Structure 1
Amino acid sequence: MGETDAALIDRFLEMMAAERGAARNTLAAYRRDLEQAGGLVRGGLAGADTAALRGVMAQYQGLAASSAARKLSALRQFYAFLRDEGERADDPAQALARPATRRPLPRLLTHDDVGRLFAQAGEEAEGETPPAAAVRMLLLLELLYGSGLRASELVSLPRRAVAGERQYLIIRGKGDKERLAPLSERARDALDRWLPLVAADTPWLFPSGKAHLSRVRLFQMLRDLAARAGIDPAAVSPHVLRHAFATHLLEGGADLRALQLMLGHADIATTEIYTHVDSRRLVELVNRRHPLARMDTVLGAKAASVDVAASSS
């Protein structure tokens, strides 16, 4: 493998750890998969095209379906990362056939878990002169759960991202596409507390050193907060909070298309993974609102009236 591949893989795994909360074993498996794939492609992964990647996958035909699926997942996520980071203009793994395996459901925080996180962050940011780090943590939490931002989008927010009389944020997301993310009243309050603590000459909303807060540091801060709130730190990450934002909005009756726009998903199929969490509400909705449900009510009423008439005669 060339040094270029090695550096790109390192950056990809750093993102998976910080933004997705990938476990150490998962990261090790992805590294092995990508290094192995790089050894099967002439010239390495950085410049590989779809035909070359199909050749790689053909080498895995004798593997168990789960192993082949993991190797394909590593390639797809790696090239999606390269495209999002501007390292490639295309995604050669996009055309690779998906294995016939069920997509795993995201980890989910309960409403109680989220409440405990906010209670802890709010308590630490109380008082007339709370620590700047506590105010920052509260705002980061508000934006992750209240606006559904990706970790990379959040940490790199410029100060000028706040727009529309502070009603929303202008987010530059995947594929360098812009979208609007709602800014809740709670988030605006936290923002008002944070902005006076940010150096006036920095272009970043969350500066750190000469740049902005890193995804790795955000991940660490969230897990530390979870531990202080009495929640298993392994269950909390920026990605999990984004899932909670989407899931809880859908449970509250949000439209799937609106959710797609807020999450910045190019394909509605990506958003549809969240529909699994609301199955009970959907069943209740059909039972109460479907025309057949009303028909059953009418028929039941008619049957009851017939019974009353029969008994009175």
Structure 2
Amino acid sequence: MAKEPAVPASGDDARLIERFLEMMAAEAGAARNTLLAYERDLRGASAELEGGMSEAGRDDIRSLGESWMTLARSTVARKSAALRRFYGFLAEEGLRGDDPSAALPRPSQGRPLPKTLGRGDVERLFDTIAAEVATGKPLALRLAALFELLYGSGLRATELVSLPRAAIRKGSPFLILAGKGGRERLVPISDRALAAVEAWRVHVPGDAAWLFPSGKKHLTRIRLYQIVKELAAKAGIPPDRISPHVLRHAFATHLLEGGADIRALQTLLGHADIATTQIYTHVDSARLVELVNARHPLVDEPGSAA
């Protein structure tokens, strides 16, 4: 798909867009691709408003939104989100006394729920891994280390394959990763994962830079996807139901089911926005209802008077 051409912004718009992007990078820790998307959408809106985006009123913004109605809902939602963030920034900085973004369209697109795996599926995967490890083959030990870190620590695929050889140290229950936007986060390493990594590291050349080397570099994300799907097929799980990211979702889902605090989960997953983490609450509605009924302070204790 061809990239949308960059649109020049003029006057105050150009200067304020630059300030906004600097804020997003420095304070919000936005990733490069996020910044490029904001810049593209804001410059495009500035061009449509003939360089008057920063001073546009609600009527101008409403007309702008109406001009987007032939676009996909996801595109309209993205453009609207960029402008809302921009006008919020102007208001916070005292550069505008009002915020016209209420006039922007709010297409109801419904955020897709993440794919996940049941506990039974996870158990089948690890039973299959145990059978592979029993063969004594080094690649089976690599398989165990990869899956223990994917499911047990919630690592992203890129984070996992690019782990340095010495990133995980014996006896250290965590590692610190620089994730999206350069944000650091603490990643827990279970005893199972530590043991699996130690068993695999014996077979990693001492001069290797990566924990999962492949040729002169590290294992690729594509190869990791293939490994995950190959194991799923052996475990009797349809390969289209699973990916490294699905295992990360399973990590989050099962922690929440086990009673993890959503703020702690946000930190573990490296989400900048709690709203991203809150999507996992869909999996545990039954437990939440039970929790409210059992722990609400106004619920009568068993045997108490009505």
One fold, TM greater than 0.5?
A: yes
The answer to whether structure 1 residue 117 and structure 2 residue 125 are counterparts is: yes
Alpha carbons of 1:98 and 1:194: their partners in 2 closer, same or farther (altered >3 Å)? farther
Is 2:170–2:198's contact at 8 Å kept on the other side of the alignment? no
Q: What is the CA-CA distance between 1:181 and the residue it aligns to?
A: 0.8
Q: What is the CA-CA distance between 1:270 and the residue it aligns to?
A: 1.0
Q: What is the CA-CA distance between 1:161 and the residue it aligns to?
A: 1.5
Instruction: Provide the C-alpha distance between the structure 1 equivalents of 2:167 and 2:292, rounded to a whole number of angstroms.
Output: 41
Instruction: Provide the C-alpha distance between the structure 1 equivalents of 2:303 and 2:196, rounded to a whole number of angstroms.
Output: 49
Provide the TM-score with structure 2 as the length reference.
0.71
What are the superposed Cα offsets for residues 17-64 of structure 1, whole Å, 9 maximum, x if unpaired? xxxxxxxxxxxxxx3xxx2x615x448x96954423446996972337
The answer to whether structure 1 residue 69 and structure 2 residue 35 are counterparts is: no
Alpha carbons of 1:61 and 1:136: their partners in 2 closer, same or farther (altered >3 Å)? same
The answer to whether structure 1 residue 286 and structure 2 residue 292 are counterparts is: yes
Alpha carbons of 1:100 and 1:53: their partners in 2 closer, same or farther (altered >3 Å)? farther
Match of 1:101 among 83, 88, 109: 109
Alpha carbons of 1:98 and 1:132: their partners in 2 closer, same or farther (altered >3 Å)? farther
Is 2:73–2:109's contact at 8 Å kept on the other side of the alignment? no
Number of equivalent positions: 242
Structure 2 unaligned spans of 5+: 9-32, 49-63, 82-100
SS in 2 for 1:272: helix
SS in 2 for 1:202: coil
Correspondences of 1:154-303 after superposition (within 5 Å): 154-163=160-169, 165-294=171-300, 298-300=304-306
The answer to whether structure 1 residue 52 and structure 2 residue 58 are counterparts is: no
Provide the residue aligned with 2:16 in structure 1: none
Structure 1 unaligned spans of 5+: 1-30, 77-94, 301-313
Instruction: Provide the C-alpha distance between the structure 2 equivalents of 1:140 and 1:179, rounded to a whole number of angstroms.
Output: 19
- Deviation larger for 149-158 or 45-54: 45-54
Instruction: Provide the C-alpha distance between the structure 1 equivalents of 2:282 and 2:242, rounded to a whole number of angstroms.
Output: 20
Instruction: Provide the C-alpha distance between the structure 1 equivalents of 2:129 and 2:303, rounded to a whole number of angstroms.
Output: 49
Alpha carbons of 1:221 and 1:60: their partners in 2 closer, same or farther (altered >3 Å)? farther
What are the superposed Cα offsets for residues 74-123 of structure 1, whole Å, 9 maximum, x if unpaired? 9x9xxxxxxxxxxxxxxxxxx99863321111011110111111111111
Alpha carbons of 1:126 and 1:68: their partners in 2 closer, same or farther (altered >3 Å)? same
Provide the residue aligned with 1:310 in structure 2: none
Alpha carbons of 1:70 and 1:62: their partners in 2 closer, same or farther (altered >3 Å)? closer
Alpha carbons of 1:164 and 1:53: their partners in 2 closer, same or farther (altered >3 Å)? farther
Q: CA RMSD in A?
A: 2.9
Alpha carbons of 1:205 and 1:98: their partners in 2 closer, same or farther (altered >3 Å)? farther
Instruction: Provide the C-alpha distance between the structure 2 equivalents of 1:53 and 1:176, rounded to a whole number of angstroms.
Output: 27
Correspondences of 1:72-151 after superposition (within 5 Å): 99-127=107-135, 130-151=136-157
Q: What is the CA-CA distance between 1:217 and the residue it aligns to?
A: 0.5
Provide the residue aligned with 2:86 in structure 1: none
The answer to whether structure 1 residue 38 and structure 2 residue 4 are counterparts is: yes
SS in 2 for 1:292: coil
Alpha carbons of 1:286 and 1:226: their partners in 2 closer, same or farther (altered >3 Å)? same
Provide the TM-score with structure 1 as the length reference.
0.69
